[in-house]
Structure 1
């Protein structure tokens, strides 16, 4: 076995994953502090009776790594000395307890007993974070029993997820934490030391599994870890340790109930007179643990243990506030006269009257509909059928033009969820321990059924599973080996609520169109309307697997404890893309109903719906043929770490870590790899000739004919000598780690740390790019700029559908398409440099206070850049709206690509193109995107926390964070060379958290009235109060490009309300005709003084226990109030300076007060 592991180490380098267990180590000395070699040390888990037997080395040192969290007793003996025994040792997740033992001269038969709890200060590590015990997990008021909510209690964390998505089966948002300046959702989460994450978005994680609260033993939240074992993270780690069984049989059953009358209405519901929605909520859980005993067959006491936990939830509740805009009854009949009464800018124009503007070869003019009424005989028959699936308004709306007239504050979401977890621990001997774990859950959610028709409604189904097997072997008194394998499978499928197999001919579409879509993929199409609602779009089926294998060694030598090992991970992702656009995506905007000119300012509302009635979609719609894919990447990581106890009061941790992440591959090479900017295309010569022929009549001085080029195309993986790997490996990821703990006194410790952490480069960062393997057939409404219409809703694809061609077209692939996004083939991993300096001080026997400075510098973030832009030199520097510049860049120029073979979409069919398109470096594409590793951020903070140990009648945790978070990861203007440095959108200057569990002192088990009779004790004894408080500043408001004349300081002045969150009259230009276009931006993304509403939340609970038996069985009733004081957290205001709702807030971002009753029985 040792030779085998040694061969693996030589072949692969080394690294274990984050650890969920703990270590006890120290020195065995005589009274003169001289080490005693070959002393026998026995560490006993008093809950399971399992012994770990050790022998001290030549310096008297011992170490016992990989011990399960729990209660321990340690004994030491050596010939000529009295036996030493110490009880009451509590080992927590990832603890590194230093317990030095002094033996007195005497006979071994004599025993010195010591009972002393371990100090609260951490004298062996520089890591930052906090511990959450089982009592907090199970007894603090948690929404839906979600244990990840407790991460919020750690200093330095901020929650950036959606507070409305807080249930255990919403895996992305419940782990949306930033830790000490890191990007949210980049913290690694482990379950029993095995990765418990899946990929959410680009570079972001989701929780692979959420264990029931009863299954959790402890959680250690490390906001800055300087342990070289920590990897696959931006620097923070959440280690969850499941409970293992003990020699005592234990069990619990819990039922939680919420009723509609126990839930407050939303703030806006009360304001608008909208009643709270009806809902039904039930949650129940059960758990059992103990030794595995089969009467007359097997007795597993002190040897084999099990733990099983189950949780289920059925929930039908309002899904927050949603307000839509639907056409009025008059607008459904084509009557827009009410809008015209508000102003001439609401005029609807008739595309049937379109003609060339006199004296111009590029502009078009059309006449208004008389009275702003479209005759019913002009309605498209498909539009009439589709309209049957759309509702009438609920009210008159909130604006003069009837917007926001379909409020759905109480639209229900229906969810069914259940989960199982099981763990078995077996101890072969004092030198060999093994555990096996399995878990999984099922979720079925139905939501967004706003119209209660096929036009809306989604169904999401999840079926994740996971498990691990772990073996700890003591190979010698100074060498321990841990082998571990873990597997996580995350599955998700999103489908229309009312299913697929939809017959498109029932909407009036011709059979020729319906036959293009396979019946099992046919859905109600996607319809989008400018300034109105959009119908639902689905969906996908994702299957993501994570495999991990770990071999980890711990070696004790002298005063050094060496940790080394390796880990291999494989990430696999199979996806079926079931897009609603398979049945068509139809977009209706003012393109054909604006006027009098084709570039006139659009109406605030109405013109998009008018286009729909006429059946005239714009050219942005399409019918899709998305591609499926099967992608994979691997990671090899290694580390070596020396935990060096320099002196009794000084421990230094020196480590180095190496990470080698393989590039992404696709099983069948269904991906582009690169973009060749100099690729010669067969269309260049005819396109140049056509451009030259029309240039004299439509000169573009910036682009004379001899400079017009049509070059550049995609490069495919595995084709024409290209490698299968989608980019080159970054082999330079060496991460040093340093930690220091210096004990000034027994109660005071100075701690510091520095470490580098690398970001992901493989599948966790991105997906394959499938140009050519997926294909959209663009809708072509016209070939002559609207003088006549080639296709309408009555026949959207007269020429049929285009099937994917794979890599057959080479660099001509998708010429004429909207966007090309390709990989930077020489990526570099982003990295975080994290550091901290802190002082911990124990106060009394059970309290501790810590204050720290924590910093973070992140470098080489990947930023997407469009290479296909006209450049900043073409943007207007005028502080005013520059109509001349807009007219110049939007002017219609004869299309040199029209009719060329291989040119798809409107580029190959339209008569004209805008001048801007022709000025782009790659005029045959709309956008050409790739990543540049130019982003960076920096973070500084003061963090403080106080804690009081659970063993007393009060358990208290409190934290305070004061921070500044700056970021440069976006460009103000498309041609900027470097990203803009400014405030981060996740900057929250202040954060205050607290939690408390307080056992009231009354009754026979308290300190007051201990002599009362049992019948009275049943009433006044056994009461407990608990609660959590979280305050965090609001994030800065995100600004668009702004035309502003005034003092920015005036924006925050004046009274503030939901109707006017800031001073909208401070100098903003409000005329929508002057919306910035082709404008050089100088206005920042964020202003520090203008922020969203802060979060200010109390969750409170009162708990009454009834003792049923003297052996510990009890019944518990708990009343919990989530958001107990009903503090609203308002959403973001409208930030469009040209909107009539500018500065207004119309929704809350959190739930109102919820009261739930909890009934629990346990033994």
Structure 2
């Protein structure tokens, strides 16, 4: 635990004379060499001094004391969050005489117990970052296990997992900052987009026992700071280019491996910064743009579509050989009789009369009126292989102004905006519809630093972050334009048509349109008093989330070879007879939550070489509240009085015991933190540091706002007359559109009910570390340490209405009577050992899913680092982590993710991110060794750079599953029995490895109505090794201006890093590896700096 610094660094030290005696009341001045910013203090009675909140950058330090020569040290470079130490030994003499040295600060941290690392600008600029996302370099920090970007809510979401920190359901658990302002979206607590690398100065990741100044998220802190203007104009222009022709072909180990996928990607932009008024006011501006077009395969021959003859009803090509059948019977996907559902007899000659063909389907096949169509086959066996064109365009702008109000006050303001569109195949294996993710992000930060006295400083922030995005399907047509009476509620687009065993067209999911406004104020006071450096303050925030969940409002039509239809899914489709149809009504939720935190910290310098870090934080978060009260809870046996028509047990705000926030505010979230730093010999060469603390977390609006009926409406129809007239058999006609009103709520049984455990608590973590550091030379240091993190109160949703293994009348338990075996319905309750009480009684509740916080996790690791700062033309950053990471559940927060809801102990096992071994080394190497006078040799030999990142990682664990519902609970996620040794000889040919990664005979399906003996995540997948490298050539143009040609490569050696195997027992690819991670990717660039 130590003083947190969101945008600054701290410089401290001790003043002695040449005999070792302490020198009090020496005057210390630090001057930023780029901006002229100056900050001063005096040494105390013990000769110690400290200057906080110094902007990062280069400094010149002077120390003056009466009767001594002036001490001056230049070459000091402070990075984000750094606690640097400069100890000075003054020589007797006159202050007009100066003793000057040029040296950087020690590499060893002798001030606090924080575990973390800063990725500096030289690394951001010079290391390979294909796709130009600064977050790609997070993996240079030990303890960072995964780093992913997704668009599931319509906008880019960054999720980083650190030191075993698990996903909190669908939400993240890491804090993200940009220039001190919160840069994340509360809907799922994920990180927002950050500026392009040319605009980023550096970033810091704190992974364990960080400052009590940080709260709300328990697993880590990521803080990006952007560049600022200086007294000299500076900037850059850049263009980066990627083409598929420059990349190696990705590996696939299936027969229908795709060819190279076309890629055209350009990233371009520029930065400029400088003085508005020298030594007073500075500006910095950045623009970045991305234009990308890709063409990706969407079927690879996996889709089987109707032939020209079949479209006309002629299925004679599928007529089985032999005598004609007189009765309907099931066949295969290529040999079958088409059954006439009206007569329950096969059609003569397997030919459907034109009068029986569905008119809507005919229009879908033809693409009437210029609408999309189901394409004709273009491969053998009526297969279709197609491609779809995707685009990804973004633009970003950053403007930042720093102003020195007075000698004691500094003001910084900035705005950042980015917007984009990312289009992808909507789903399925045909070119039917497309999904467009459209988003816009805004950030605004204002920071004020006021040096009240040399020992008293105040810093205040006001910040705002907004992220708004949506997933919109195109084209904006709907199935009614083909002739169907289906009614889309909300924005129009095409439905999903799923023909089992043949093809799937499109995706019925629209939205979500989602986002968040995050407002925060924060204030920190720093007071240095004797041996104490006190820091206290607090922050308050309002998080306003919105999510419009449209889900399946375009409709899903499932054709499944039902015996009640034509016995074949493809002919069912031609007849327009779906086996089922799904449709949803849009639902909008607006969730608001308040957050506040107070903290007090003391860096207590007990002796000149021992510092204690003591802290306490208090966090309070109100449960998210829906502005329209669209939240629910469940309590067995209680009848709602607010919605009198609600089924027994389903409650809403206004009912007895149900508040708008569902659970009470937790006022007891205190987080003590303690640490120490021991400078063993007092020379800043060897340090022992350690600490421990408690860290309270948060939950997201997305997790809290899982409302069901009557606020949202999801319908599944199994008696569908036809795709043309889908509601003809629905009592009362179409139930759409549906918009919830308190006076007319709708409940359609059966349905699943949500609820929250009244004892729910926010997640928390216990963290601890112990580290030994040593600086071996002026530029090289190593460390070895233990890092531990234990998660508590982790969320999980439990189905408390889990089906029992009891008979339903005379019928034994089966997958067809799952809901009849659930123990709770409004009336009557299930009698012991049998479900006979349900005979003839409608089922109201399926799952009753209670959101709780009773899960745990643990992470223990040895983390070893070695770092060399720039000398002899190169730098090195390296780490090795040996870790063990387990969790009580898989933490997907889904009732379908466990085998048995009543036996959660079966899920205890390795975390999904349990990478036992991780090794990473990065190097920045400037090949400027020629110091001669020959201009031609100097031009040819110098100006080259090579910067590799080398990574090795052991495999991720995986779970073997049956692929069937053997324990009859309605989910196909059961695990098999283990009956043998699952491991095979390690040293085998690649062909043997990809065809059998593990001993498939070691697992067998359990008998019906039982669970298997195989645990979760018991096997390891393939490890990975890769070398990314950047090659640069620099040409000096004029003074301080350089033109740089860049080539950046991921996996430059083209290592085949295999994916995890298929581990589903009933899959035809069971035990096989069918893919690999990306092969060599290339990015070329041109960058002008001045």
Query: The TM-score by the shorter chain falls in which range?
Result: 0.7 to 0.9
What's the CA shift for 1:276?
1.3
Are 1:1143 and 2:1074 matched, yes or no? no
Aligned with 2:595 (options 635, 641, 647): 635
Structure 1 position 663, deviation (Å): 0.9
Matched, 1:844 2:777: yes
Structure 1 residue 248 corresponds to structure 2 residue 235: no
- Structure 1: tracts of 5 or more residues without a match: 1-14, 293-299, 356-365, 596-605, 687-709, 783-787, 876-881, 904-913
Counterpart secondary structure, 1:505: helix
Instruction: Say whether residues 1:679 and 2:610 are aligned partners.
Output: no
CA distance in 1: counterparts of 2:837 and 2:1060, whole angstroms:
35
- Assess, with a 3 A threshold, how the Cα gap between structure 1 residues 741 and 319 changes in structure 2: closer, same or farther: farther
Distance 1:1056 1:591, change over 3 A: farther
* Within-5 A mapping of 1:851-862: 851-862=784-795
Q: Which residue of 1 aligns with 2:1016?
A: 1085
Q: Where in structure 2 are the equivalents of 1:150-165 lying within 5 Å?
A: 150-159=137-146, 161=148
Specify whether residues 87 and 428 from structure 1 end up closer, same or farther in structure 2 by C-alpha distance, changes over 3 A only.
same
Which of 623, 629, 633 is the equivalent residue of 2:583?
623
Q: Alignment partner for residue 980 of structure 1, among 892, 907, 910?
A: 907
Local SS of the residue matching 1:538: coil
Q: TM-score, normalised by structure 2?
A: 0.87
Query: Cα deviation per residue 1:247-292 (whole Å; 9 max; x = unaligned)?
Result: 1111211111223321222223997574313232211121111111
**Are 1:715 and 2:651 an aligned pair?**
yes
For residue 894 of structure 2, what is the aligned residue in structure 1?
none
CA–CA distance in structure 1, aligned partners of residues 319 and 163 of structure 2: 50
State the partner residue of 1:1066: 1001
- 2:320 is the alignment partner of 1:386: no
Please report how far the alpha carbon of residue 885 of structure 1 lies from its aligned counterpart in structure 2 after TM superposition: 4.1
For 1:215 and 1:35, locate their aligned partners in 2 and report how far apart those are by CA, in whole Å. Answer: 43
Unaligned runs of 5+ in 2: 322-328, 367-372, 829-833, 891-897, 962-973
The equivalent of 1:657 in structure 2 is: 617
1:780–1:791 Cα contact (<8 Å) kept: no
Q: Alpha-carbon deviation of 1:793?
A: 3.9
Which deviates the most, 567-576 or 102-111? Answer: 102-111
Cα distance in 1 for residues equivalent to 2:165 and 2:117: 17
Is the CA contact (8 Å cut-off) linking 1:380 and 1:613 kept in structure 2?
Answer: yes
Q: Residues 639 and 989 (structure 1 numbering): CA distance in 2 closer, same or farther, change over 3 Å?
A: same
CA distance in 1, matches of 2:1006, 2:350: 25
Is 2:906 aligned against 1:946? no
Cα distance, 1:922 vs. partner? Answer: 10
Equivalent position to 1:1104, from 1033, 1052, 1069: 1033
Give the aligned partner of residue 417 of structure 1: 394
Alignment partner, residue 201 of structure 2 = 217
Q: Distance in 1 between matches of 2:351 and 2:604?
A: 84
Deviation at 1:757, TM superposition (A): 1.7
Larger mean CA deviation between 761-770 and 433-442 belongs to 761-770
Cα offsets for 1:122-179 (capped at 9, x unmatched): 11121222221111101111012111111111112212537xx799x97325x44333
Q: Aligned equivalents of 1:1118 and 1:977: distance in 2?
A: 53
TM-score normalised by L of structure 1: 0.81
- Distance in 2, Cα, partners of 1:824 & 1:82: 69
Are the equivalent residues in 1 in contact too, given 2:882–2:917 (CA < 8 A)?
Answer: yes
Alignment partners' CA distance in 2, 1:334 and 1:1039: 43
- In structure 1, the residue corresponding to 2:438 is in which secondary structure? strand
Which stretch shifts more, 476-485 or 731-740? 731-740
Which residue of the partner structure matches residue 31 of structure 2?
Answer: 44
Distance 2:246 2:913 in 1: 33
Q: Which structure has the highest strand share of the two? A: 2
1:327–1:609 CA contact under 8 A, matched in 2: no
When residues 370 and 1108 of structure 1 are mapped into structure 2, their CA distance, relative to the original with a 3 A threshold, is: same
Q: Which residue of 2 aligns with 1:172?
A: 157
CA distance in 2, matches of 1:940, 1:307: 43
Deviations 1:89-139, CA, capped at 9 Å, x for gaps: 111101112333344444332333333321111111212222211111011
Per-residue deviation at 1:936? 1.0
1:192 lines up with 2:179 in the alignment: yes
Match of 1:283 in 2: 267
**Given the alignment of the two structures, is residue 1025 of structure 1 paired with residue 958 of structure 2, yes or no?**
no
Distance 1:891 1:83 in 2: 84
For the 8 Å contact 1:758–1:831, the answer to whether it is kept is yes
Rounded Cα–Cα distance in structure 2 between residues aligned with 1:590 and 1:1132: 33
Partners of 2:758 and 2:562 lie apart in 1 by 39
The answer to whether the 8 A contact 2:498-2:557 is kept is yes
User: 1:1056, 1:1062 within 8 Å by CA — same for their partners in 2?
Assistant: no
Q: What pairs with 1:732-751 in structure 2 (closer than 5 Å)?
A: 732-745=668-681, 746=683, 747-751=685-689
Q: Provide the C-alpha distance between the structure 1 equivalents of 2:872 and 2:110, rounded to a whole number of angstroms.
A: 23
Going by fraction, where is helix more abundant, 1 or 2?
1
- Residue number in structure 2 paired with 1:1124: 1052
**Among candidates 553, 557, 564, match of residue 586 of structure 1:** 557
CA contact (8 A) 2:1043 2:1087 kept: yes
Distance 1:1081 1:750 in 2: 48
Checking the alignment, whether the CA contact within 8 Å between 1:616 and 1:792 is kept in structure 2 is no
TM-aligned CA distance change 1:1065 to 1:610, over 3 Å: farther
Q: Which residue of 2 aligns with 1:800?
A: 734
Query: CA offsets, 1:177-198, max 9 Å, x none?
Result: 3334544942212111221112
With over 3 angstroms needed to count, the CA separation of the structure-2 counterparts of 1:370 and 1:1145, relative to structure 1, is: farther
Cα displacement (A) at 1:490? 0.5
- Cα distance, 1:617–1:481 mapped onto 2, change above 3 Å: same
Give the distance between the partners of 1:671 and 1:643, measured in 2 at CA. Answer: 45
Query: 1:235·1:834 contact (CA, 8 Å) conserved in 2?
Result: no
Structure 2 CA distance for aligned equivalents of residues 767 and 1052 of structure 1:
49
Summarize deviations over 1:594-624 as a string: whole Å, max 9, x none.
Answer: 99xxxxxxxxxx84444433433345x3332
* C-alpha distance in structure 1 between counterparts of 2:946 and 2:723, whole Å: 71
| Bigger shift: residues 799-808 or 484-493 | 799-808
Distance in 1 separating the partners of 2:14 and 2:480 = 82
- Correspondence for 2:457: 480
Distance, in Å, in 1 between the alignment partners of 2:713 and 2:278 is 63
- Matching residue of 1:359: none
Answering whether residue 516 of structure 2 is matched by residue 533 of structure 1, we say no
Asked if the contact 1:269–1:275 (Cα under 8 Å) also holds between the matched residues in 2, the reply is no
Q: 1:917 to 1:857 in 2, by over 3 A?
A: farther
1:771 aligns with 2:699: no
**Distance in 2 of aligned mates of 1:586 and 1:374:** 21
CA contact (8 A) 1:390 1:451 kept: no
The separation in 2 between residues aligned to 1:125 and 1:1098, in whole angstroms, is 34
In 1: Cα distance, 2:982 partner to 2:699 partner? 42
Query: Relative to structure 1, is the Cα distance of residues 191 and 319 closer, same or farther in structure 2, using a 3 angstrom cutoff?
Result: farther
Q: Deviations for 1:835-860, whole angstroms, at most 9, x for unmatched residues?
A: 11121111222111111221221112
Alignment partner, residue 724 of structure 1: 660
* Contact kept? 1:28, 1:36, Cα under 8 Å: yes
Report the counterpart of residue 886 of structure 2 in structure 1.
Answer: 966
* C-alpha distance in structure 2 between counterparts of 1:638 and 1:670, whole Å: 31
Q: Greater CA deviation, 794-803 or 550-559?
A: 794-803
Name the CA distance, whole Å, in 1 between partners of 2:884 and 2:542.
36
SS at match of 1:949: strand
Using the TM superposition, give the Cα deviation of residue 453 of structure 1 relative to its aligned residue in structure 2, in angstroms: 8.3
Partner of 1:361: none
> Structure 1 residues 396 and 116 mapped into 2: Cα distance closer, same or farther (>3 Å)?
same
Greater CA deviation, 423-432 or 1035-1044?
A: 1035-1044
Q: Report the equivalent of 2:484.
A: 509
Which SS does the other structure have where 2:709 is aligned? coil
Displacement of 1:1065 in angstroms is: 4.7
The CA deviation at 1:428 is: 1.8
Who is 1:228 aligned against?
Answer: 212
